[in-house]
Amino acid sequence: MTDRVKKYADGGVGSGLFDPAQLVKALPDAFRKLDPRVVVTSPVMFVVLVGSVLTTVFSFLDPGDWFGWAISAWLWLTVLFANLAEAMAEGRGKAQADTLRRAKTDTVARRLVGEREERVPGTSLRIGDLVVCEAGDTIPGDGDVIDGVASVDESAITGESAPVIRESGGDRSAVTGGTKVLSDRVVIRITTKPGETFIDRMINLVEGAARQKTPNEIALNILLASLTIVFLLAVATLPPFADYAGTELTMVVLVALLVCLIPTTIGALLSAIGIAGMDRLVQRNVLAMSGRAVEAAGDVSTLLLDKTGTITLGNRRAAEFVPVRGTTEAEVADAAQLSSLADETPEGRSVVVLAKERYGLRERHQGELAHAEWIAFTARTRMSGVDVDGRKVRKGAAGSVLAWVREQGGQPAADAVETADRISEAGGTPLLVAVHDERGARVLGVVHLKDVVKDGMRERFTELRRMGIRTIMITGDNPLTAKAIADEAGVDDFLAEATPEDKMALIKREQAGGKLVAMTGDGTNDAPALAQADVGVAMNTGTSAAKEAGNMVDLDSNPTKLIEIVEIGKQLLITRGALTTFSIANDVAKYFAIIPALFAAAYPSLDKLNVMHLASPESAILSAVVFNALVIIALVPLALKGVRYRPGGADRMLRRNLTVYGLGGLVAPFLGIKVIDMLLSLIPGIG
């Protein structure tokens, strides 16, 4: 967990609604958002703002009307509470942006012009410029390392204090402006213009300045605006009925009635829900380039996951020692450990560890055998070993070790070859262990290397299956190896020996079937597939091409985070749906609370619908307006935190929504308005 995520988890930036410091910071923004040019982006709240202005004007015309002043005050508070919800959601992102701004410095760049260097301001760099950075230098702009290798401190972006390696010629060549070189020297080709760097984009996005409304959000806004127009027309028809019945409805009463009937709750919280969804990704060190990507993640039905580093640990590890006839496991383990001391690869280290843990062999070091001749592992020989005390020990790829045994005058054991073939067919990697001593050259046994599946992956894939998501493992391995790993991990399908073209074709096939596809990648060869996928998560350690192609960037470069991203996307959609259900049910309940109280005097039969027995028409209207404002502020924590997501089908989620939020939205106004009415009735002149 990064330092920044810990801060969120421990009650820092994202600690919740009632953090006094957060409230104080959000209040000025809430008042600034009263600007009609800002409020007009939310049609529902714009109607409330216009109503607030109208009731205030009529209150000034009749200063002695306490009812008009009370309605005006609570209508203004309704708009302010809506602005406060959005300001608090944005405030969480602004705290992140402040951290990023501290990382964004005006640096002096050492630009290469031919063979010489010249010092220029970082802001004057252009795409294609070459700059030199050495230990202690701040990288002046986004780019790719084209020469050299260096250790880079990226804590300003990721929050992780551990440095990372950036080098030319691979998928870890991308560097970010504002990060610091800790060692060595690199030459960087600039890939972005000043003001358009990765940090600049992050600042704009986490602050919400660059947040665009998603298609679903726009559609919901249109629905809310339509409902507002319908209720506006309905309220406009009431004065003639009131005149006919001999009841007077003032402009203040009509405005209050309209505000209570339109879907103000979801209208007030809609923007905060979207911002909070992106903020939850930021808490997990994922940068979404658009709200559309977060929403799409919630609707993903196919998940493409790279095998190495995502499903498996990435490095094959020794799993067992298999002896040939006439040899014991302990002998194989001892020889394998001894011959692996000159093998610095992760596979070689795992052989030493397995021999120590499973067979109790003390880990030896090259220094203890000073007179020994060590044979280091190389990609050319594909073997490692040692010559000591007249004994030669070798461990390595089957073909290399078998050839060595023959060179020493020995004959490979048939069961060793059979065991190696069996391990290969099962998806593992066999390493042969051989010795040449007074008994001649012979194979002692086989080390079984496995691509180890990460703990808990099968359970996570089972959970995704319950969510209705199909998982596909992508690997460059042969089909046999791929099938073995896929079966062990529990994925639904796999694509073996995958090329960039194969990935693209797979994504297009899934999309042609009406499915939304998500995938991760970090290399230039992943860029086409990342761009084609509905949700493309690029690793921050990857190339600039990958980060430009994807619509999300994982700052921690943890491919398994794609699963969390899908869960956050679903949580965003569920939260929006739940609060919309609550808001509409809320309006229905308020309708039955207010209308009977207003017309019961003229139409006594309506008194049967006045189930709450409110004290008076004025008390009924004022209670509804007060409840309408308070319910917004009460739901802000839920909008920011999000409704808890539980894997299940759409029918189950619909039942839960209707039961919890639909029924809750009907019951809450009856209870809340009645309690407020009872309190108001205690005030002289109201009851």
Binding site per annotation, positions for Mg(2+) = 522, 526
- Which phi-psi region, left, alpha or beta, contains residue 194 (left: φ > 0; alpha: ψ -120 to 50)? beta
583/562 Cα distance (integer angstroms)? 32
Across the beta sheet with 312-323, the strand order is: 312-323, 440-453, 429-437, 391-397, 383-388, 373-375
Tokens representing 37 are: 């040019």
Tokens representing 387 are: 């010559």
488/353 Cα distance (integer angstroms)? 23
Positive or negative, the CA dihedral 262, 263, 267, 272 is positive
Residue at token pair 């084609």: 532
Distance of CA 158 to the CA centre of its chain: 14
96/81 Cα distance (integer angstroms)? 23
From the list 163, 161, 159, 156, the residue with the least C-alpha distance to 177 is: 156
From the list 332, 330, 252, the residue with the least C-alpha distance to 74 is: 252
285/292 Cα distance (integer angstroms)? 18
CB atoms within 10 A of CB 554: 28
From the list 649, 643, 463, 495, the residue with the least C-alpha distance to 560 is: 463
| Spatial CB neighbours of 671, under 8 Å, sequence gap ≥ 6 | none
User: Which residues line the annotated binding site for ATP?
Assistant: 343, 347, 377-384, 395
- The residues that bridge with 108 in the sheet, in sequence order, are 121
CB atoms within 10 A of CB 233: 9
Catalytic residues: 306
Is residue 302 within 8 Å of residue 469, measured between CB atoms?
Answer: yes
Is residue 382 within 8 Å of residue 396, measured between CB atoms?
Answer: yes
From the list 157, 245, 242, the residue with the least C-alpha distance to 554 is: 157
Tokens representing 597 are: 């109280």
630/82 Cα distance (integer angstroms)? 10
SS3 354: helix
User: Which residues line the annotated binding site?
Assistant: 343, 347, 377-384, 395, 522, 526
Run of H or E residues at 581: helix 561-599
- Which phi-psi region, left, alpha or beta, contains residue 229 (left: φ > 0; alpha: ψ -120 to 50)? alpha
Q: Describe the crossing of helices 264-283 and 43-61 by its angle, rounded to 10 degrees.
A: 130
